[in-house]
Amino acid sequence: MSTAVAHEHGQAAGDQPALLQLVDVGKSYGNVHALRGVSLHVRQGEVTCVLGDNGAGKSTLIKIMAGLHKHTDGVMTIGGQETVFGSPREAQAAGIATVYQHLALAPLMSVWRNFFLGNEITRGFGTMDIASMKRIADEELRKMGIEIGDLDRPVGGLSGGQRQCIAIARAIYFGAKVIILDEPTAALGVKQSGVVLKYIIKARDAGLGVIFITHNPHHAFLVGNHFVILKLGRVVLDAHRDELTLDELTGQMAGGQELEELSHELRSADPGKVVDAHTVEHGEIEAPTLDHPAVKP
């Protein structure tokens, strides 16, 4: 297993050149260092998973690549060219599509309208070519094996998983080179998560460089070629799939030592014990061994 240093500048022999590369990127918000010394390679036809706990810097990293924020240190290159995006539109024009968990699509608009949002097909005098847009949206979603049924349905009535899939299909159709998925499975159940993971693989097979942001090492390990763990804004693990196991990834995510301490603390709270409601008096509920304030009505 290697650290960030092993993959620093450039690429190993035989690897593909990076579509997008960060070298020692940092981002400060005033005196808060959200990211420090982050290096990352995103390659065509690979899924790069970025994992990290709350506050690790995952969203900050996405915002830099998506053109929402500018990095304050280091270098980002796109296709070998040093780049600082001035706006999300510039990032999109460079082939970087970002699918945010909650803002993936406009809920009141229909499926086909969402598919073409911002890229509408028009005929003369700016009138929208609705028939063509419906036909293409239908073809593209079918091609991906996404079953929506009536494309006039508002997207708000679809499941979270279906929405993510439409956003992925749209990015592929409009020629994105890199797709960034911000915790696409975080709010989904097992089955829907599986569907989204399947489309992550489809995006990879379509030749995109996929950046999959997640808290979940199990989801990451099902689809990832490469794994980067952020902790308090720094890269604490940067490893290829061949270099680690799911157990190691899970252990690194949990922060081995911290998990050990937590499990010790929880063991002393007698897990498995069932508390009889009759033995608890009103106002008596406390969490004696954990670090949370006791709950008192």
- Which residues would be at the binding site for ligand ATP (CB under 6 A)? 29, 32, 34, 52, 54-60
> Per DSSP, which regions of 178-242 are E strands?
178-182, 209-214, 226-231, 234-240
We find the least distance from the C-beta atom of residue 50 to ligand ATP, in angstroms, to be 9
Q: Shortest gap between Cβ of 229 and ligand ATP (angstroms)?
A: 11
Stretch that binds Mg ion, among 27-35, 56-64, 118-126, 220-228 (CB under 5 A): 56-64
Q: Which is nearer to Mg ion, 100 or 174 (CB)?
A: 100
Partner in contact with 32, chosen from ligand ATP, Mg ion, none, beta carbon below 5 to 8 Å by kind: ligand ATP
Is the Cβ of residue 208 or residue 230 nearer to ligand ATP in the bound state? 230
59 binds Mg ion (CB under 5 A): yes
For Mg ion, give the closer residue by CB, 58 or 134: 58
Closest-CA residue to 219 (of 49, 40, 52): 49
Region of 50-58, 215-223, 248-256, 258-266 interacting with Mg ion (CB under 5 A)? 50-58
- Judge contact between 42 and 228, C-beta under 8 A: no
Find which of ligand ATP, Mg ion, none residue 60 binds, CB within 5 to 8 Å per kind. ligand ATP
Q: For residues 58 and 219, which CB has a smaller minimum distance to ligand ATP in the complex? A: 58
Burial letters for 102-114: b for 16+ Cβ neighbours within 10 Å, e otherwise?
eebbeeeebbbbb
> Of 22 and 146, which has the nearer Cβ to Mg ion?
22
Tell me if residue 219 falls in helix, strand or coil: helix
Find, among 99, 106, 117, 111, the residue nearest to 138 by Cα. 111
Three-state SS for 285?
Answer: coil
For the chain, how far is it from start to end, CA to CA, in angstroms? 50
The torsion angle over the Cα atoms of residues 218, 220, 222 and 225, rounded to 10 degrees, is: -140
Which residues contact Mg ion (rule: CB under 5 A)?
Answer: 58-59
